[in-house]
């Protein structure tokens, strides 16, 4: 199994009356072949709100990775991928008319 994790979205939401970030919209995707799983979360910033221009890329990276680690998103996504890959599959070549596998 070779699961690839990708940040799809790390986007700020601003307060209505100013340019302070009050929320981050985080969306993480995991893919392994045809199996895919997603986690989306809106993270509220209740303390230490600051303007969007004060958020450095390194700060955004550290914050989003901290939520990913604390909430164990990789484990959750991996479990979902494993369930998909191990789910029952239909039989290739099944013929509904003869109720048998075509050879």
Each residue's pLDDT expressed in tens, for the chain with a length of 103 residues: 799 999 999 999 998 888 899 999 999 999 999 999 999 999 999 888 999 999 999 999 999 999 999 999 999 999 999 999 999 999 999 999 999 999 7
Instruction: Please tell me the predicted confidence (pLDDT) of residue 47.
Output: 86
In a domain, 101, yes or no: no
Confirm whether 86 is domain-assigned. no
The model carries a pTM of 0.82
89 in any annotated domain: no
Let me know if residue 82 belongs to a domain.
no
Residue 17 in domain = yes
Residue 44 belongs to domain spanning: 4-74
Report the pLDDT value the prediction gives residue 78, as an integer from 0 to 100: 97
DSSP 66-96: HHHHHTTHHHHHHHHHHHHHTS--PPTTEET
Q: How many domains does the chain have?
A: 1
């Amino acid at each position: 199994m070779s699961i690839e994790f990708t940040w799809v979205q790390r986007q700020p939401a601003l307060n209505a009356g100013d340019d302070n970030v009050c929320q981050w919209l985080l969306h993480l995707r995991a893919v392994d072949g045809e199996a895919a799983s997603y986690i989306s979360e809106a993270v509220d910033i209740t303390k230490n709100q600051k303007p969007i221009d004060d958020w450095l890329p390194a700060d955004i990276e550290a914050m989003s990775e901290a939520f990913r680690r604390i909430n164990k998103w990789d484990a959750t996504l991996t479990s979902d991928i494993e369930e998909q890959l191990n789910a029952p599959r239909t039989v290739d070549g099944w013929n509904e008319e003869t109720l048998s596998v075509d050879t």
